[in-house]
Amino acid sequence: MYRDKTKVIRIGNQIIGGGNRILIQSMTNTRTENVKDTVEQIHRLEAAGCEIIRATVPTMEAALAIKEIKKEITIPLVADIHFDYKMAIAAMENGADKIRINPGNIGTREKVKSVVDVARGLGVPIRIGVNSGSLEKHLIEKYKGVSAQGLVESALDKVALVEDLGYDNLVISIKSSDVLMCIKAHELLADQTDYPLHIGITEAGTIISGNIKSALGLGIILHQGIGDTIRVSLTGDPVEEIKSAKLILRTLGLRKGGIEVISCPTCGRTKIDLISLANQVENMVQDIPLDLKVAVMGCVVNGPGEAREADIGIAGGDGEGLLIKHGEVIRKVPESELLDVLREELLNWK
């Protein structure tokens, strides 16, 4: 498996590559200069399961804020840099655990060397990021358009530049909003490098479209043994990215732990507000540290049978519902009490 053979890289208090578990990332959408808001959002993300967080550093004020943010958080912080090499240097000097750059937009070789020299001195890994939206003109012309081959060549050219400057503490990221192109690019790249890969479908979209694109793209890439860290990119609250990433990993058998909620699609027999109930259950179980399956079913006709594979479940009726454990009906419960009864059972699970 590819990920078992990648180099081991330390990012703050986390280790990736070499067969270590795949870590979940996200990115803040606050102004990094606003330390209070940024720290509050990172705390919410960490509580949801985020293991590495990235923040943009477009100004020197943001670079200086890294130092204050680091004092308040426990997960590694990655500084996202574009265009100005001085921001990369300042971010590292203020405690960034990793920097994300595209050497192609940093400037001259000497500017890239300045960044690499500081990274080497401080032991800060560099994530080389290439995006299909900023692919170089000569590669677009060479491959007659934006292509998987062009993305890989661009990334490896930049890796070669940093290696030539004497540094190999690297992570690679190649992203596209085109799911099939992104999959192909990762397949090609995995055959040509042993650096850890951060994977994601960039600009994936809103909660619905972004989740579908990310689940398909990341699912196929991860199932091939490719990828050491992941981010589900969504236009919305970044906490939703963490929920989705956890579910993708758990569905693929790459992450254990956490409650999996299954629910029926509703039909004409449904007598309760199943959609609302299922969403409430999904939110309710987020903070319960159990590794089991919870079923939320819409009717008492097929509910018990459909919930048989779950550890525990509820099935709605007309103003009432059933509490089910291991496929057996335990008791009837008024509809208004279903959620509370389920939570109580989970909190006292034996």
Write the pLDDT tens digit of every residue in 194-250. Answer: 999 999 998 767 888 999 999 999 999 999 999 999 999 998 899 999 999 999 999
Write the pLDDT tens digit of every residue in 145-171. Answer: 999 999 999 999 999 999 999 999 999
CA 238/CA 141 separation, integer angstroms: 36
- The enclosing H or E element of 331 equals strand 328-334
CA 173/CA 129 separation, integer angstroms: 5
Q: Which residues contact 282 (CB under 8 A, 6 or more apart)?
A: 261
Q: Are strands 23-27 and 14-16 parallel, antiparallel or unpaired?
A: unpaired
The answer to whether residue 271 scores a pLDDT higher than 80 is: no
User: What is the structure's pLDDT at 244?
Assistant: 93
Write the pLDDT tens digit of every residue in 307-319. Answer: 677 888 888 777 7
pTM summary value: 0.85
Q: Which of 111-115, 230-234, 321-325 has the lowest mean pLDDT?
A: 321-325
Mean pLDDT, all residues of the chain: 89
The answer to whether residue 29 scores a pLDDT higher than 70 is: yes
Place of tokens 């062009």: 150
CB 57 within 8 A of CB 63: yes
> In which band, very low, low, confident or very high, does the pLDDT at 302 lie, cut at 50, 70 and 90?
low
From 251, 272, 287, give the residue that closes a domain. Answer: 251
Q: What are phi and psi of 82, to 5 degrees?
A: -135, 135
What CA–CA distances, in Å, run from 90 to 73, 76, 80, 84, 281? 19, 17, 12, 10, 45
- Count helices and strands in the chain by DSSP H and E runs: 13, 15
The answer on 299 and 238 residing in a single domain is no
User: What is the structure's pLDDT at 332?
Assistant: 87
- Provide the CA 19 distance to its chain's centre, in angstroms: 18
Question: How many alpha carbons lie under 13 Å from residue 244 in its C-beta half-sphere?
Answer: 31
CA 96/CA 123 separation, integer angstroms: 11
The answer on 205 and 63 residing in a single domain is yes
Structural domain for 172, as ranges: 2-251
From 228, 251, 274, give the residue that closes a domain. Answer: 251
The string of DSSP codes covering 64-78 is: HHHHHHHHH--S-EE
> In which band, very low, low, confident or very high, does the pLDDT at 172 lie, cut at 50, 70 and 90?
very high
Per the structure, how many domains does the chain have? 2
CA 283/CA 114 separation, integer angstroms: 46
From 185, 216, 251, give the residue that closes a domain. Answer: 251
User: What is the structure's pLDDT at 20?
Assistant: 94
CA 61/CA 12 separation, integer angstroms: 22
The answer on 163 and 274 residing in a single domain is no
CB 73 within 8 A of CB 42: yes
The answer on 55 and 106 residing in a single domain is yes
CA 151/CA 134 separation, integer angstroms: 10
The answer to whether residue 261 scores a pLDDT higher than 70 is: yes
> In which band, very low, low, confident or very high, does the pLDDT at 89 lie, cut at 50, 70 and 90?
very high
Q: When comparing pLDDT for 186 and 309, which is higher?
A: 186
The answer on 27 and 115 residing in a single domain is yes
CA 37/CA 169 separation, integer angstroms: 31
Q: What is the CATH number of the domain that holds 106?
A: 3.20.20.20
Q: When comparing pLDDT for 299 and 137, which is higher?
A: 137
The answer on 51 and 124 residing in a single domain is yes
